[in-house]
């Protein structure tokens, strides 16, 4: 089996197989790698073909690579002998054999059958004890071994049957939950820019050919796997590596679909298009999602680990005082760990699936936990509280320029960027039948400020007043009257300047979403005490919008770094902050917040860094996300109480000799199954 290096930092390396493998192969790989000197930890994911290796000695890496490549395999560990199973659904056939066939077997065959069934559990028990681990495998194997030593082969067969069915049910449930989640999340660009024959074309994704050069600019997702043919860019690869900082990619470097260009421009020669790329995106999402484990899940798993030695100690005390192996085995089979480890991740996976069905995509369990604790919600105004489809209301040219010229040149610059304001300018030019063929040179995008380029040998600027006037020093006094009048009417303004002089103003009408006021009221009704609005507009416009929406706290003329600073200040006050924004300029604040939320139509970079994506295209989905987080945490705590209460009752029954090992195993498995089914029930009312 061939593995490729995906990510490496000191002490940690991730490898991926050319294709997924089955559970047996994963167990074999984990067992083999754990035996290597210098290896501290191993995590193998058969669904994604991923191997995560934690190491303390650099010399461990060559040994690991040799083992994975087959140069130094363990005895009997040929990877090709374990073809993936088509269906891992739990089967009732072993139960039927136990009920109807086992009683008919002669004693020698019954003994052999019991030993054969117990062998895998005894092997896992021995492996755990050899490595000094007192875990669930050690508990189960010890209980089965006691039954075998007592000659109670009937009980041993029943235990292996129940434990095997429980393992199969757990694997199948988690596998189906992840598959259902992934089936909704294949990312695919509809259209993309390519260079063909020296010209730039905007084509449907399905028309992409291998000899095309895909053009990706600032703030845009990379739609294909490929190699950089020209250009330089900083690429955010968090979806693939989990590292939040951008990495520079220049000519000859590999780039991957689903990552995002933060700044710069690159031309990519595709190496994988269509189905293969989309499948890799699904794999990366699953891998990324499983890393986002909720803190409560980690706490319960640590609690489960600590409970195992306690169970062993209690079983030993029972044997010392009663001299009854039966009672000791019964105690061993009442285990808190299985249910604690299974119920919480299933509740989280089920909630994420439910969210996707309701058009709310939560990218990990810890974000559900954060959603349940949110007490501060921050909105960016443009595109979230206002409609995502603004339109050009007026064009005011400066002296010496015509309105069509201002609009045509602005559309020429804006067509490369996915923000709603940019799309509005381009659509307006198309509606007026203004041809805006590319006549400018390389476009420079300054996040949250504007665009700079050269046109016919002249420097062109398009953007906010702060960018054009303060950063670039353009004197706008000649258009003061128009600026005052347009601002008084509540328009958002774009300024166009050529060679240091104003060329015109584009007034954008950004009407409020009809659901925005109701959304603010719902948040207040949910008991969220702090709702803020951030906007780059002037104070007059910000005050008018906040008043119409019922928002008491707002900040005007805010820059991207200001948004992130405000988020950090609120978090420093002990608040749990949710930020909702949809633009490239919102990305720093989305990353800084406890929960970053964006819309389906948001910029690619915003969708990449956000923790929750509202796929319905409306900020009203925020209420669903918050309710889902709250109800999921309540369900997890309810399941925890049920697990502790029921298993404690079973444990008491075992101590008193009321429950035999077989009945203990039945009740324990029924409890695990019951809390798992409860964890997977819908969290939100079906009518919502």
User: What is the number of domains present in the chain?
Assistant: 4
334 found inside a domain: no
Residues 527, 505 share a domain: no
Same domain for 226 and 77: no
Running DSSP on this structure, what letter comes out for residue 249?
E
CATH code, 74: 3.30.70.100
| Rounded-to-integer distance, Cα 117 and Cα 144, Å | 10
287 is a domain residue: no
**Are 266 and 414 part of one and the same domain?**
no
Q: Supply the DSSP string of 188-239, one letter for each residue.
A: --SEEEEEETTEEEEEEGGG--TT-EEEEETT-B--SEEEEEEEEEEEE-HH
Please check whether residues 395 and 505 belong to one and the same domain: yes
Sheet containing 12-17: give its strands across. 3-9, 12-17, 50-55, 39-45
In a domain, 61, yes or no: yes
**Is residue 479 domain-shared with residue 617, that is, in the same domain?**
no
DSSP, collapsed to helix, strand or coil, labels residue 45 as strand
The answer as to whether 491 is a domain residue is yes
56-87 pLDDT tens trace: 777 788 888 778 876 443 333 333 323 334 44
Residue 399 shares a structural domain with residue 545: no
- CB neighbourhood size of 4 (10 A): 9
Rounded distance, CA 328 to CA 317, Å?
8
CATH code, domain with 262: 2.70.150.10
State residue 268 phi and psi, 5-degree precision: -110, 130
Inside any domain, residue 251:
yes
Full residue range of the structural domain in which residue 59 is found: 3-81
If you compute the radius of gyration of the chain from its CA atoms, what whole number of angstroms results?
30
- Across the range 100-105, mean pLDDT stands at 60
Angstrom distance (rounded) from CA 599 to CA 99: 55
SS (H, E, C) 505-526: EEEEECCECCCHHHHHHHHHHC
| Full 3-state SS string of 407-470 | HHHHHHHHCCCCCHHHHHHHHHHHHCCCCCCCCECCCEEECCCEEEEEECCEEEEEECHHHHHH
**Residues 528 and 614 both lie in one domain:** yes
Among 509, 530, 549, identify where a domain stops: 509
User: Which CATH number does the domain housing residue 371 bear?
Assistant: 3.40.50.1000
Is the domain of 592 the same as that of 608?
yes
Boundary of a domain, candidates 582, 604, 629: 629
Cα 615 to Cα 106, 253, 356, 688, distances in angstroms: 62, 32, 8, 16
Same domain, 419 and 523: no
The predicted-structure confidence for 309-362, as pLDDT tens digits, reads as follows 777 788 888 888 887 777 777 777 666 666 666 677 778 878 887 888 888 888
Whether residue 489 is predicted with pLDDT greater than 80 in this model: the reply is: no
Residue 74's pLDDT is what? 35
Checking if the pLDDT of 416 tops 50, the result is yes
**C-beta of residue 384 within 8 angstroms of C-beta of residue 420:** no
Place of tokens 């203990």: 664
Residue 407: CATH number of its domain: 3.40.1110.10
Instruction: Indicate the pLDDT class of residue 165, thresholds 50, 70 and 90.
Output: low
Q: Could you give the CA distance from residue 168 to residue 120 in angstroms, rounded to a whole number?
A: 14
Q: Is residue 321 in some structural domain? A: no
Question: Quick one: 587 and 503 in the same domain?
Answer: no
Give per-residue pLDDT as tens, 521-530.
999 999 999 9
pTM of the model: 0.59
**Residue 399 and residue 502 in one domain:** yes
- Cβ distance 631 to 683 under 8 Å? yes
Least trusted range by pLDDT, from 209-218, 251-260, 679-688: 679-688
Q: Does 499 fall in a domain?
A: yes
Looking at the chain, the whole-number percentage of residues with pLDDT higher than 90 is 14
Among 477, 509, 541, the domain-final residue is 509
Please report whether residue 98 resides in a domain.
Answer: no
Active-site annotation, residues: 380
Distance CA 479, CA 522 (A): 42
Higher pLDDT: 601 or 178? It is 601
How far, in Å, CA of 480 to CA of 486, rounded? 10
Closest CA to 613 of 289, 389, 179, 274: 289
The pairing of strands 39-45 and 50-55 is antiparallel
How large a percentage of the chain has pLDDT more than 70?
A: 74
| Dihedral, 253, 256, 258, 264 alpha carbons, nearest 10 | 10
Residue 491 and residue 550 in one domain: no
């Amino acid at each position: 089996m061939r593995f490729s290096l995906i990510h490496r930092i000191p002490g940690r390396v991730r490898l991926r197989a050319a294709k997924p493998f089955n559970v047996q192969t994963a167990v074999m790989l984990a067992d083999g790698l754990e035996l290597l000197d210098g290896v501290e930890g191993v995590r193998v994911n058969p669904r994604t073909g991923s191997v995560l290796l934690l190491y303390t000695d650099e010399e461990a890496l060559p040994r690991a690579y040799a083992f994975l490549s087959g140069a130094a395999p363990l005895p009997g560990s040929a990877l090709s002998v374990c073809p993936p199973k088509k269906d891992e659904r739990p089967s009732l056939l072993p139960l039927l054999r136990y009920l109807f066939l086992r009683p008919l077997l002669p004693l020698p065959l019954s003994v052999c059958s019991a030993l054969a069934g117990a062998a895998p559990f005894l092997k896992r028990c021995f492996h755990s004890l050899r490595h000094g681990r007192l875990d669930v495998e050690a508990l189960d194997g010890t209980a089965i071994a006691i039954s075998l030593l007592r000659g109670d082969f009937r009980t041993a067969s029943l235990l292996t049957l129940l434990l095997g069915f429980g393992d199969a049910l757990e694997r199948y449930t988690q596998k189906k939950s992840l598959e259902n989640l992934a089936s909704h999340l294949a990312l695919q660009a509809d259209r993309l820019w390519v260079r063909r024959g020296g010209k730039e074309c905007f084509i449907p994704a399905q028309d992409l050919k291998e000899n095309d050069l895909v053009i990706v600019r600032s703030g845009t997702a990379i739609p294909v796997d490929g190699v950089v043919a020209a250009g330089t860019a900083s690429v955010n690869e968090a979806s693939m590596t989990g590292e939040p900082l951008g990495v520079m990619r220049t000519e000859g470097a590999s780039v991957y679909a689903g990552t995002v260009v933060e700044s710069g421009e690159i031309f990519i020669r595709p190496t994988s298009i269509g189905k293969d790329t989309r499948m890799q995106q699904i794999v990366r999402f699953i891998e990324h999602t499983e890393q986002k484990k909720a803190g409560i899940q980690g706490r319960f798993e640590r609690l489960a680990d600590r409970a195992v030695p306690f169970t062993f100690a209690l079983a030993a005390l029972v044997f010392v005082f009663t001299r009854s192996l039966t009672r000791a085995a019964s105690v061993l089979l009442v285990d808190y760990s299985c249910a604690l480890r299974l119920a919480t991740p299933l509740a989280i996976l089920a909630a994420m699936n439910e969210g996707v069905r309701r058009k709310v995509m939560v990218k990990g369990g810890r974000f559900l936990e954060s959603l349940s604790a949110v007490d501060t919600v921050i909105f960016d105004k443009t595109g979230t509280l206002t409609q995502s489809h603004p339109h050009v209301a007026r064009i005011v040219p400066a002296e010496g320029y015509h309105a069509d010229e201002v609009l045509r040149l602005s559309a020429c610059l804006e067509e490369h960027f996915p923000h709603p304001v940019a799309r509005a300018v381009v659509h307006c030019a198309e509606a007026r039948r203004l041809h805006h063929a590319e006549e400018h040179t390389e476009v420079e995008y300054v996040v949250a400020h504007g665009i700079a380029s050269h046109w016919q040998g002249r420097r062109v600027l398009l953007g906010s007043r702060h960018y054009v006037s303060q950063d670039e020093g353009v004197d706008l006094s000649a258009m003061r009257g128009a600026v005052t009048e347009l601002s008084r009417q509540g328009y958002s303004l774009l300024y166009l300047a050529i060679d240091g002089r104003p060329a015109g103003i584009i007034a954008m009408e950004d009407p409020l979403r009809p659901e925005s006021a109701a959304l603010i009221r719902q948040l207040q009704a949910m008991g969220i005490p702090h709702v803020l609005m951030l906007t780059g507009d002037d104070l007059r416009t910000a005050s008018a919008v906040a008043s119409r929406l019922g928002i008491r706290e707002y900040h005007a003329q805010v820059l991207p770094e200001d948004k992130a600073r405000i988020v950090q200040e609120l978090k420093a006050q002990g608040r749990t902050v949710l930020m909702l924004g949809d633009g490239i300029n919102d990305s720093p604040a989305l990353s800084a917040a406890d929960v970053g939320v964006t819309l389906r139509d948001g910029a690619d970079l915003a969708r990449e860094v956000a923790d929750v994506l509202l796929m319905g295209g409306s900020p009203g989905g925020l209420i669903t996300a918050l309710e889902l987080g709250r109800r999921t945490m309540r369900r997890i705590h309810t399941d925890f109480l049920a697990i502790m209460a029921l298993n404690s009752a079973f444990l008491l029954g075992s101590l008193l000799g009321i429950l035999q090992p077989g009945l203990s195993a039945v009740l324990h498995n029924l409890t695990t199954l019951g809390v798992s089914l409860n964890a997977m029930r819908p969290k939100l009312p079906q009518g919502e």
